[in-house]
Amino acid sequence: MNEKVATELKGSVRGDVILPDDGRYDEARKVYNAMIDKRPAVVVRCTGVADVIAAVKAARAAGLAVAIRGGGHSVPGFGTADDALVTDLGRMRGIRVDPATKTVRAEGGATWGDFNHATHAFGLATTGGIISTTGIAGLTLGGGIGYLTRGAGLSLDNLISADVVTADGSFVTANAKENQDLFWALRGGGGNFGVVTSFQYKLQPVKNIVGGPMFFEKEDAEKVMRTFDEYISRAPRELGAFFAWQIAPPLPFIPEDRHGDTLCVLVACWTGPPSEAEEALAPLRGAADLVAAHVGPMPYPALNGAFDGLV
């Protein structure tokens, strides 16, 4: 980026403009996947819509590609690029819940942890990821699968409206009535159609759930997967669950002599009446002999953050 554009950009945003000679550059160019080692021309840590507009316009003026970073969890590292201007939305995490309409407006840099914390206070939630540090933006724009999918659909099914800064620096709203083509494209089109500065979602009544992980021997994986596959297609919609391989972490509910062993795990989330949880979870629990389990009532955000330290 030439000096003139960089100086103008610094003068027009409230957030940080970080160039390669800045001491903060190496930290600013990092994304979640540590194998990604891109060197953008500049990283703009935006503080609001005005900064996003200024950043996109500066990229146009400088002839730079724009990379958009929400939560930074893109595995191939699409939140950054060599020689690009990165619009980093990590400081735009404001969330406003409207309990009367059961909707929420969340800024484009929020994570599911931010989101669930805010909506949980009202006993509400929507489909989000299974890890709380993932960004709502990339996950929603790519579809969004999580514990609540079977009952509430994908994250993008719950999207009502999005505020977007498009490639020419214009600010538009896309929903079922305005800019319908853009709204259609956003729902599955990833970060290719503009910078989404905020998302509006509908919410479902979800507060405390019954759930958690059930660990089985890896030798029982086939049995566990077959049971899961057969049951999940007919289980009540209030049940969300997934299968995974997991190296047993050093947690108190796992026998100490099994720490570090490769096991398989079913993680379940029951959002229906607590009195029906045992029956709903029984087929999963009985898939094979349990090595360990930690299933019980807990706030929904607690399950959402339970595995953050493992990934």
Ligand X SMILES: Cc1cc2nc3c(=O)[nH]c(=O)nc-3n(C[C@H](O)[C@H](O)[C@H](O)COP(=O)(O)OP(=O)(O)OC[C@H]3O[C@@H](n4cnc5c(N)ncnc54)[C@H](O)[C@@H]3O)c2cc1C
Pairing of strands 159-165, 195-202: antiparallel
Name which of 137 and 281 has its Cβ closer to ligand X: 137
d(C-alpha 115, C-alpha 120), whole Å: 8
Name which of 169 and 291 has its Cβ closer to ligand X: 169
Pairing of strands 124-125, 103-107: unpaired
- SS3 of residue 209 by DSSP: strand
d(C-alpha 276, C-alpha 56), whole Å: 51
Closest distance between ligand X and the C-beta of residue 310, in Å?
A: 9
Pairing of strands 103-107, 95-98: antiparallel
Name which of 84 and 288 has its Cβ closer to ligand X: 84
Name which of 162 and 203 has its Cβ closer to ligand X: 162
- Cα dist. 32→43, 63, 257, 291 in Å? 16, 27, 31, 31
The residues, ordered by sequence, that sit 6+ positions from 129 with a Cβ below 8 Å of its Cβ are: 112, 139, 144, 145, 146, 304
> Which stretch of DSSP H or E encloses residue 161?
strand 159-165
Residue nearest to ligand X (CB): 138
Interface with ligand X by CB under 6 A: which residues? 31-32, 67-75, 78-79, 89, 108, 129-131, 134-135, 137-139, 141-146, 190-191, 195-196, 311
Closest distance between ligand X and the C-beta of residue 100, in Å?
A: 26
Name which of 199 and 216 has its Cβ closer to ligand X: 199
Name which of 195 and 209 has its Cβ closer to ligand X: 195
Closest distance between ligand X and the C-beta of residue 145, in Å?
A: 4
Closest distance between ligand X and the C-beta of residue 278, in Å?
A: 26
- Cα dist. 254→91, 213, 225, 258 in Å? 37, 11, 21, 7
- Cα dist. 166→56, 187, 228 in Å? 8, 15, 43
Closest distance between ligand X and the C-beta of residue 203, in Å?
A: 18
Maximum pairwise Cα distance, the chain = 67
Closest distance between ligand X and the C-beta of residue 195, in Å?
A: 5
d(C-alpha 213, C-alpha 204), whole Å: 23
Closest distance between ligand X and the C-beta of residue 67, in Å?
A: 6
Name which of 4 and 96 has its Cβ closer to ligand X: 96
Contact 69, 31 (CB under 8 A): yes
Name which of 124 and 182 has its Cβ closer to ligand X: 182
Closest distance between ligand X and the C-beta of residue 242, in Å?
A: 8
Question: Hey, which residues does 209 pair with through a beta bridge?
Answer: 298
